[in-house]
Amino acid sequence: MKVGLCAKVTADTDARLKASADGSSFEVNGKVVVGPYDAFAVEEAIKTKEKFKCEVVSFTVGGGDDVVAQLRGTVLALGADKAVVVSDPALAGTDSLGVARTLAAAIKKEGCDVVFCGKQAIDDDNVQVPAMVAELLGWAQVSRIVELEIEGTDFKATRSMDGGVREVVAGSLPAVFTAERGLNTPRYPKLPAVIAAKKKPLETPDLAALGLSGGDVAAKAVTTAYGAPPERPKGRKLEGDVDTMVSELVRLLREEVKVL
Amino acid sequence: MLPQLITDPSVLGGLLTDASNLPGRADGLVRPRSAEDVADILRHCQSAGIPVLPTAGRTSTTGGATPDGGWLMSMAAFDAVGEIGHDRASAGAGVWLGAFQSAIEATGRFYPPDPTSRNECTLGASVACNASGARSFRYGATRRWVEGLRVVLPTGEILDVRRGDPIPADWPVPRWHEPAVKTAAGYAPPASLLDLFVGTEGTLGVITDVTVRLTDLPSDVIGLIAFFPDRASALAFVEQARDASRGDPRGALSPRCLEYFDRGCLGMAEGRTTVPDGAGAALFCEQEVEACGADAHLEAWLEALTAHGALVDDTILATDGPSRSRLLELRHAIPAGINERVVRNGMRKIGTDLAVPDAALPRMMDLYEASPVEHVLFGHIGDSHLHLNLLPSTPEEAQRAKDWYDQLAREAIALGGTVSAEHGIGKLKRDHLRWMVGEEVLASFRSLKRRLDPNGILGRGNVFEQGPL
């Protein structure tokens, strides 16, 4: 058994995103983190490792110093044995299918039997990649799981549906699972493990090393612009004594807002 | 012209107490919109002998914001954030402290004072009580950061005060030796006029506008909870971290806060968060990332924690938003647990605010731990300033707790400490203040108060007994 997990490093939940002046990209004002849904995937991967005494490898597409630092401080510190960060200039501007092809190739190369992903990224709310990875690998796939049991090569996964109905899905590995909130409670990174994680292997293959070319990840649909929503009109402050302000408020409600 | 006096009991009813739960009473509420309005109100009240108490977030734990008759004066209209520059920022006294800090941080600058209530208290009140918080271990209390104030004296004069402005020669200024610890008890000996309005609990003037000094926003902050088998090992670590931080404030081991939680606190947190087996005490610490880099900090912390027998394998680290939020769960679980106990017991808790010189802390902790009723101990151990919370469950226990608190206050004084390190005196600690400073020094406070507020209308009952000054 070998466990894989896909970890996307995104803007922190309290970071602010801002479209660049020319609208060609967006800037993150704040830190980057492993996404919160991915954190459930990490926890499930570590739990699976503990049960089967096996290896865990994390996979990320695209990376810089920030990404590597995050993966070391969280994924590797929490118990993953190795991180694979695919870095290639051709990945700039790729789409979900390009990311999925890259991940699938990396997962195949490592020989994983099960892969955990977060149900979605929190920056672009994209949910397509895990299903595409499963399809490209020809594996089973269960999305948004809240419970999982693996016995031998059989699994039983529970999904939470509307109205509290629980759907139980059974199948065989290999499989891709995406994690929903409630699947587990992610553990905290421990100080000695964070320091030890600095020495864990982190590979940065390019596309060629995975048997892919730039053409394999060329986007079929491209983002053409980023922009801000239209600004809301500013509130108005009424001045004067109470009687003046009340009369003016009533007039505005009657004549402009037309609610009276 | 005086602003309208509101006497509707349903409006006043919500303003009659503060976080101390002391019951209060008021005859009316005024809502000034300018310093000139404040001046008109104070002149009127001074001549008519009507007590006035500014009211805002009412987070005082000492009854400082509980009125004892007279008029309440809402500071809500002083809510404008002014200019935020590189070195200074200004705002009205009624701006929420947390919102002010967020506005400053959005520009990449930093105003450090962080009382726990910063999202519920106003800037003006935080100056009036010289607020501090966890980060004051590194950054000091509010006083250090105040550069200018607009103040209305109890007689109605409006002063624009800058740091360094001289005190009028005919004002009787208190001269005494404050204890050499973090303290918010009594009128601090002022270095300049500005100091007379910082930390004097609003008894000498009404602050309407504030200018503060800013510093660099830390590039990053590492949060950490370390568990220890017992108090002794935690304290030994604190001593090393404190010395290291004071020796090299930018070094690899240079915490900006050191917060202690005793075994009782950890018991309160159990069920809400995971507490490792064998943990007898915990420290919550924050380290700003300095030029040496995050890795150097982590290694220095691990080395020091290991040397002092911390449960290093259980040391929890937070380096980003989500993990910091989870770390805060433990901190928040403790007050939540205490409040649950208070509700269940149906009795008010008694919370202390004593600080002692570092060398006297172990002795003080011995006494805290010997408390005769159920208790938990937590707080700013870096400043040797812990909050003992006594949780009585019967009226007899409540009396025992009060007597014990009195005894602890006397002991803190004898050890060279203070009866209040951050909460102030308000209406609940006037006896303790007298024990600490003595009648002669207290008389010097009264003499200044009388010079500025002849009829004793402003903040009546705070710091001094109600009655003739």
CA distance, residue A242 to nearest chain B CA (Å): 10
**Would you say residue A89 lies in a domain?**
yes
For A243, list phi and psi in degrees, rounded to 5: -60, -45
CA distance, residue A29 to nearest chain B CA (Å): 10
Rounded Cα–Cα distance for residues A107 and A6 (Å): 9
Chain A interface includes B126 (CB < 8 A): no
Give strand pairing partners of B73. Answer: B30, B54
Q: Are residues A191 and A241 in the same domain?
A: no
User: CA of B324: which chain A residue's CA is closest?
Assistant: A188
Q: Are strands B215-216 and B146-152 parallel, antiparallel or unpaired?
A: unpaired
Q: Are residues A170 and A256 in the same domain?
A: no
Our count of domains for chain A comes to 2
Contacts of A71 in chain B (CB under 8 A): none
Q: Are residues B19 and B110 in the same domain?
A: no
Neighbours of B350 (CB within 10 A): 19
**Would you say residue B351 lies in a domain?**
yes
What would the pLDDT profile of B145-190 be if each residue is shown by its tens digit? 999 999 999 999 999 999 999 999 999 999 999 999 999 999 999 9
Q: Are residues B165 and B260 in the same domain?
A: no
Instruction: Name residue, tokens 């967020």.
Output: B102
Closest CB from A12, A186, A195 relative to B321: A12
Our count of domains for chain B comes to 4
User: CA of B220: which chain A residue's CA is closest?
Assistant: A31
- Residue-by-residue pLDDT tens, chain A, 260 positions: 999 999 999 887 777 778 888 888 877 777 788 888 999 999 999 999 999 999 999 999 998 888 999 999 999 999 999 999 999 999 988 999 999 999 999 999 999 999 999 999 887 778 899 999 999 999 999 999 999 999 999 999 999 888 888 999 999 999 999 999 999 988 888 899 999 999 999 999 999 999 999 999 999 888 888 888 888 888 888 888 889 999 999 999 999 888 88
**Would you say residue A226 lies in a domain?**
no
**Would you say residue A223 lies in a domain?**
no
What would the pLDDT profile of B24-69 be if each residue is shown by its tens digit? 999 999 999 999 999 999 999 999 999 999 999 999 999 999 999 9
Q: Note whether A189 contacts B316, CB cutoff 8 Å.
A: yes
Question: Which domain does B99 fall in, by range?
Answer: 81-216
**Would you say residue A222 lies in a domain?**
no
User: Among residues A19, A29, A22, A106, which one has the least CA distance to residue A61?
Assistant: A106
CA distance, residue A138 to nearest chain B CA (Å): 34
Q: Are residues B182 and B243 in the same domain?
A: no
Q: Are residues B334 and B354 in the same domain?
A: no
Chain A interface includes B4 (CB < 8 A): yes
**What's the pLDDT score for residue B319?**
74
> How is B97-133 classified by DSSP, letter by letter?
HHHHHHHHHTTTEE-----TTTTTSBHHHHHHTT---
Contacts of A194 in chain B (CB under 8 A): 298, 317, 319
Q: What CATH number is associated with residue A81?
A: 3.40.50.620
With a CB cutoff of 8 Å and minimum separation 6, the contacts of B64 are: B18, B20, B129, B201, B202, B424, B425, B426, B427, B459, B462
Chain A interface includes B312 (CB < 8 A): yes
Question: Which domain does A103 fall in, by range?
Answer: 2-217
Q: What is the ipTM of this complex?
A: 0.71
What would the pLDDT profile of B74-89 be if each residue is shown by its tens digit? 999 999 999 999 999 9
Rounded Cα–Cα distance for residues A42 and A115 (Å): 10
Neighbours of B231 (CB within 10 A): 19
Neighbours of B10 (CB within 10 A): 6
Q: Are B8 and B51 in contact (CB under 8 A)?
A: no
**Would you say residue A225 lies in a domain?**
no
pLDDT for residue B326 is more than 70: no
**What's the pLDDT score for residue B467?**
65
